[in-house]
């Protein structure tokens, strides 16, 4: 796929191109490698640096909708019901009741992004610049919450584009196309992997097993010896193992 842009060449263009010995006729062409996406998925992700062609590829899946906001109403009032407002806003990691009750124009750029996303999220939606205007802590919350909501609601064919590669681990997309690499990125088969040593039996309500929980890229080992409900020194609660688990 070729992306070509043309401009009328001005004296400034000629001066710059001559100074830097860059041949310029007014036309710029970029080669973007197209790809085939699965026909049935929950979330798809297109990643790549700025100017790599993400937005161009995103358009093959549809046009991003614009949200209109009434400055005399709260964010929450733009949803069909209080339940929908709560569910949709929480689905993008926006969990401040105080901010829900404010008008859109009083929010920060990051809060406005999540408000827009909350109204847009549905099957078949496309979102450009996903998490580009929010800090990485908010990006993680947004990505994890959106993945959970899409799975629980059974939404399909949502395609996002972003210049941030860190969200891949948090969002766990069903497919991810790297524009710079020109290929699909390998997908982790499990969002949460648990391994349990079953060799050691329960003794007096205590387990001598070590549970390793790896989720969203973080691995935590819960050491043996703590009974169910007792807080380990790590600050985590040690669950009581059962043979069926």
* DSSP state letters, 151-162: HHHT---EEEEE
Segment 46-81, tens digit of pLDDT = 999 988 899 999 999 999 999 999 999 999 999 999
pLDDT beyond 70 at 156: yes
3-state secondary structure of 123: coil
Residues paired with residue 127 on neighbouring β-strands, in sequence order: 160
Q: How far is CA 229 from the centre of its chain?
A: 33
3-state secondary structure of 124: coil
User: Percent of the chain beyond pLDDT 90?
Assistant: 67
Please report the pLDDT score of residue 41 as a whole number: 96
Alpha-carbon span 183 to 163, nearest angstrom: 15
Segment 94-117, tens digit of pLDDT = 999 999 999 999 999 999 999 999
pLDDT beyond 70 at 196: no
Report field, pTM of the whole predicted structure over 0.85: no
Largest CA distance in the chain: 86
Please report the pLDDT score of residue 195 as a whole number: 33
- Token readout for 114 is 């999540």
Alpha-carbon span 215 to 219, nearest angstrom: 7
pLDDT band at 189 (very low <50, low <70, confident <90, very high): low
pLDDT beyond 70 at 244: no
Q: Which of 224 and 59 is assigned the larger pLDDT? A: 59
pLDDT beyond 60 at 8: yes
CB atoms within 10 A of CB 114: 28
Strands (E) in 36-165, as ranges, are: 43-47, 126-127, 158-162
Give mean pLDDT, residues 4-10: 90
- For residue 174, give the nearest of 63, 58, 38, 48 by alpha carbon: 38
pLDDT beyond 90 at 229: no
Cβ within 8 Å of residue 80, ≥6 positions away? none
- For residue 151, give the nearest of 94, 193, 191 by alpha carbon: 191
Write down the mean pLDDT value for the chain: 81
pLDDT beyond 80 at 215: no
């Amino acid at each position: 796929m070729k992306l070509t842009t043309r401009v009328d060449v001005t004296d400034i263009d000629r001066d710059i191109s001559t100074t830097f010995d860059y041949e310029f006729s007014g036309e710029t062409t970029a080669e973007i490698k197209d790809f085939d996406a699965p026909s049935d998925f929950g979330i798809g992700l297109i990643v790549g640096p700025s100017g790599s062609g993400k937005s161009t590829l995103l358009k093959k899946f549809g046009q991003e909708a614009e949200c209109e906001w009434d400055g005399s109403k709260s964010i929450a009032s733009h949803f069909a019901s209080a339940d929908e407002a709560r569910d949709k806003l929480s689905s993008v990691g926006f969990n401040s009741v105080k901010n829900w009750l404010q008008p859109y124009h009083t929010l920060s750029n990051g809060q406005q992004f999540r408000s827009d996303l909350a109204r847009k999220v549905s099957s078949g939606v496309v979102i450009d610049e996903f998490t580009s205007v929010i800090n990485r802590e908010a990006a993680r919350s947004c990505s994890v919450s959106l993945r959970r909501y899409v799975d629980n609601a059974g939404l399909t064919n949502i395609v996002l584009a972003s210049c941030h590669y860190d969200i891949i681990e948090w969002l766990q997309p069903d497919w991810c196309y790297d524009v710079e690499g020109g290929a699909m990125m390998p997908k982790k088969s499990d969002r949460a992997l648990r391994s349990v040593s079953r060799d050691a039996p329960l003794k007096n309500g205590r387990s001598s097993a070590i549970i390793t929980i790896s989720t969203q890229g973080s691995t935590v080992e819960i050491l043996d010896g703590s009974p169910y409900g007792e807080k380990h020194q790590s600050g985590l609660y040690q669950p009581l193992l059962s043979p069926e688990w």
